Structure 1
Amino acid sequence: MTTASTPKTVAVVGCTHAGTFAAQSILTAHPDWTVHVFERNDTLSFLSCGIALWVGGHVSDPNRMFYSSPAALTELGAQMHMQHDVLSVDVAGKSLVARDLTSGEESTYVFDKLVVTTGSKPVTPPIPGLAEGLEDGRVMLCKNWDHGKAIKENAMQADSVAVIGAGYIGAELVEQFSEAGVRATLIDGLDRALAKNFDAPITEQVEAVYAEHGVELALGQMVTEFRLNESGTGVTVVTTAGEYDVDYAIMGAGFLPRTDLFEGQLETLPNGAIKTDEYMRAFPAGSTEASSDILAAGDSCTVLYNPTGTYDYIPLATNAVRQALLVAANIEEPMQKYMGTQATSAVQLYDLSLAASGLTQAGAEARDVNTRSTTIVQDYRPDFMLTTTPVTATLTWDPETHRVLGAQFLCRHDVAEAANAISIAIQARFTIDQLANVDLFFQPNFCQPVNFIGAVAMQAVAEQDAC
């Protein structure tokens, strides 16, 4: 016979993906606990990864981009503090101070357990004119509901837009702008679009499609200044290679963990991401032992990156949800370990389907990991079919252990699910030899007798044997 635990008071700070799932799961497992949820916005659970689709008119109802609500969490038993800004947290003293942004009233709350789900914030470098541009509205961010509304209502109606940052956000936004007839410029300090997500065999094809659709690529250029037009009708984006006069500019240069509240109180990476153990427990500053009363999940903390076996910062909603569920599972005592992530992701650009899992060659070099890369191009299904189209498949692997470390795919047919197969292979620590011999089906409607996943693995084995 089990004994019921003593009810606890939990403070959940931040409520997007990780906070929402953590609060739901904690209350489901412990309905007699007191769970305070603090969120500075008036909404929660917004699927910001769909902003570009919403902007481009591919969303039936933007309100359906919220999968939960303050009312839903309240019904579960949460004490919701919406539009409350947490001003300070005393981690050791187990208390926090929050201000009601509506009334201005400040209150102190005590807790037994702290769940840090403060998420991330857009990167806003100290570029001259950026702060003024953001205040004026001619420079926009792309992170939350209000940002999405501003982009759709203003930038989408403009003649010209510059997007800074050629990652997923920037890549999708310029696609939607170009499809709508808005002159779009994509600016990035790296010399390839999607350079952190895919290697050259794939990004070269993406850049060619951008050119076909009139997107101006300003790659290998750092933004040095934003100048608002004196007439107030636009902004000039100044880079190391030129100037771009547009109606609006959108910053999509990535994200950083929003963890200022915990500076000096919790162990973090240099970028501020909170370090956690395999049970999502955080480490008090100066301690090598994780605390059972402080847990973190989502964009505010590190992830175990399986391709390297190290803790890294990879802000993805999928990571946030899985980690949040583990917070609930481990909030009383360590029960379920985090299995880690391969950072599996996908994007649709025009008629191109792109997907990836694990390390790219460029990502391996940035992390000082020794890898080899193999690329094949073959029709995704037999050429006796009335239609087929090539798929580019790139496999990244360890030349010493032969372990599969990553893969990327591009095709005009939807091949995105291939990245999920590679994700499983990486997590299971498959070698290229094992992947080459995995049972993958053949049916002419769908694939070749040798599926492109197996084919690229076979090519990698052949290249290794030839060394």
Structure 2
Amino acid sequence: MKVIVVGCTHAGTAFVTTAKKLYGDAVDITIYEKNDTISFLSCGIALHVGGIVKDPMKLFYSSPEHLFSLGATPKMRHEVLEVNPREKYVVVRNMETGETFRDHYDKLVVTTGSWPIIPNIPGVSLDGVKLSKNFYHAKEIVEASKNAQDVVIVGAGYIGVELAEAFRHNGKNVVLIDLADRILSRYLDKELSDLVEKELTENGIKLALNEKVVEFLGENGKLTHVVTDKNKYRADMAILAVGFRPNTDIFKGLLKTLDNGAIIVDKYLHTSEPDIFAAGDCAAVWFTPTESYEYIPLATNAVRMGTIVAYNLFENKVEYKGTQGTSGVKIFSYNIAATGLTHSWAQEKKLDIESVFIVENNRPEFMNTYEPVYVKLIFERTTGRVLGGQVMSKADVVESANTLSLAVANKMTVLDLAFSDFFFQPHFNKPWNFLNTAALRAVEKIHNMK
């Protein structure tokens, strides 16, 4: 079987390594990738900027040479210009020579990933305005930051907040701008984001929330200021971190997509063309809390989806169950993780939900040390079904978000979660785990509403 893979970061790498393990020489895999690298963990850029990861090469977990050693044929610096599903071929341009040619396939695996959203703002192309996505962006940011003192970050999601912390650790003056009135608004509800905002400001980061960037100003082609609808900020460097869009322009009109271009796949990850699969950031995911297609670009989604495509290459064997969008981040002293819906997101979707927020110490108070744990639990009002949750503490309790993820995936109710069996040992927790406690509070809330 001849398989062509278009793009090769996380989903593509996972597909190729799994397919070669499963089928060996029974599959002839050719990879077309525009870059000359694969498998870069962009979530590590802030760690590199902050000096925790000294060598950015360590943020790669595979290479073209490794995929070649498995029996695949990586064609780096090759761009797929056109796909013909009817005649099952792609048109490819060698970016080094300019040569254009056709290549036929039996199965096509689309793992083209995503790209940072670049707002159409005057001055966005000035020297000093940077993106944060790939290996080369990481090198540019670190090099430019050597001569930068005033750094403005546009976008207060995970990437923006992590970079703000990294630059602050490096002694830079940092302004964090976001159009929303809260940071991390897609991941955390106000009870928790308020605490993180306080942590950021106490560590010297200026928050410019509810502000819209309207212009980048410069002199002699180099950035000097970032202008919002409310203020003007000095800037030697600005990082755009406002989100990502799927890299699917060549599939427009060929495959079924969401409005933003994310390719819709079935439960076996076939696209609307049965011999074309899609996985990773280029694809929509089945979001289990709402049972709807959403765009949630995460490396964890990508590696799962790429692996599942490999299992389903010859026949439908493994069903993609969807995702809860489980994610985590460390910001200064806080460890943070979230899964499923936030209260505010559920309200946007006009769902009939309730939520509870508790503060519980992670260990018994007779222990020599203990830390508050902040838990937000979102659940369906009528059934009590768990739809999402957030956990935050200076103690490392974020793995509990994985437990909440399973609760959401398996449609557990708050009653189920309240009386779930968790171990107790004073070094680690209390007889009632904080997830039990939050769920018990939710059960009481439902009871009092009747």
Q: TM-score, normalised by structure 1?
A: 0.94
Q: Which residue type is aligned with residue 342 of structure 2?
A: T
TM superposition shift of 1:28: 2.1
Aligned counterparts, 1:377-456, within 5 A: 377-456=359-438
TM superposition shift of 1:60: 4.8
SS in 2 for 1:463: helix
Q: Which residue type is aligned with residue 250 of structure 1?
A: I
Aligned counterparts, 1:109-258, within 5 A: 109-130=103-124, 132-133=125-126, 136=127, 138-155=128-145, 157-228=147-218, 230-231=219-220, 234-258=223-247
2:41 pairs with 1:47: yes
Whole-angstrom distance in 1 between the partners of 2:402 and 2:378 = 15
Match of 1:353 in 2: 335
SS in 2 for 1:154: helix
Q: Which residue type is aligned with residue 18 of structure 1?
A: A
Whole-angstrom distance in 1 between the partners of 2:349 and 2:75 = 41
SS in 2 for 1:80: strand
- Answer yes or no: is the 8 Å Cα contact 1:377–1:393 preserved in 2: yes
Match of 2:20 in 1: 27
- Answer yes or no: is the 8 Å Cα contact 2:30–2:75 preserved in 1: yes
Larger mean CA deviation between 161-170 and 87-96 belongs to 87-96
Match of 1:306 in 2: 288
TM superposition shift of 1:101: 1.6
Whole-angstrom distance in 1 between the partners of 2:248 and 2:222 = 36
Q: Which residue type is aligned with residue 445 of structure 1?
A: H
TM superposition shift of 1:143: 0.3
- Answer yes or no: is the 8 Å Cα contact 1:234–1:245 preserved in 2: no
Deviations for 1:364-422, whole angstroms, at most 9, x for unmatched residues? Answer: 12222221110001111111111111111000000011000111011111111010010
- The two structures, once aligned, show a CA RMSD in angstroms of 1.1
Percentage identity across paired residues of the two chains? 45
TM superposition shift of 1:232: 5.1
Match of 1:97 in 2: 91
Deviations for 1:107-129, whole angstroms, at most 9, x for unmatched residues? Answer: 21111111000000101121122
Deviations for 1:191-220, whole angstroms, at most 9, x for unmatched residues? Answer: 001011100010000000111111010111
Aligned residues: 448
Whole-angstrom distance in 1 between the partners of 2:18 and 2:368 = 50
Whole-angstrom distance in 2 between the partners of 1:358 and 1:164 = 25
- Answer yes or no: is the 8 Å Cα contact 2:56–2:135 preserved in 1: no
Whole-angstrom distance in 1 between the partners of 2:354 and 2:313 = 41
SS in 1 for 2:197: helix
- Answer yes or no: is the 8 Å Cα contact 2:424–2:430 preserved in 1: yes
TM superposition shift of 1:464: 1.0
Match of 1:324 in 2: 306
Whole-angstrom distance in 1 between the partners of 2:445 and 2:299 = 36
TM superposition shift of 1:233: 5.3
- Answer yes or no: is the 8 Å Cα contact 1:156–1:182 preserved in 2: no
TM superposition shift of 1:95: 1.1
Q: Which residue type is aligned with residue 422 of structure 1?
A: L
Larger mean CA deviation between 231-240 and 181-190 belongs to 231-240
Match of 2:271 in 1: 282
Deviations for 1:111-169, whole angstroms, at most 9, x for unmatched residues? Answer: 11110000001011211221x22xx3x10000000001111111254111000010000
SS in 2 for 1:442: coil
Match of 1:88 in 2: 82
SS in 2 for 1:31: helix
Match of 1:465 in 2: 447
**TM-aligned CA distance change 1:431 to 1:269, over 3 Å:** same
Q: Which residue type is aligned with residue 202 of structure 1?
A: L
**TM-aligned CA distance change 1:386 to 1:156, over 3 Å:** farther
Whole-angstrom distance in 2 between the partners of 1:392 and 1:156 = 37
Match of 1:12 in 2: 5
- Answer yes or no: is the 8 Å Cα contact 1:235–1:249 preserved in 2: no
- Answer yes or no: is the 8 Å Cα contact 2:129–2:223 preserved in 1: no
Larger mean CA deviation between 73-82 and 102-111 belongs to 102-111
Q: Which residue type is aligned with residue 26 of structure 1?
A: A
TM superposition shift of 1:22: 0.8
TM superposition shift of 1:243: 1.1
After superposing on structure 2, the runs of 4+ consecutive aligned residues of structure 1 that deviate more than 3 Å are 231-234
Whole-angstrom distance in 2 between the partners of 1:218 and 1:20 = 38
Q: TM-score, normalised by structure 2?
A: 0.98
Whole-angstrom distance in 1 between the partners of 2:105 and 2:31 = 11
- Answer yes or no: is the 8 Å Cα contact 1:142–1:251 preserved in 2: yes
- Answer yes or no: is the 8 Å Cα contact 2:380–2:386 preserved in 1: yes
Whole-angstrom distance in 2 between the partners of 1:432 and 1:150 = 47
Aligned counterparts, 1:48-63, within 5 A: 48-63=42-57
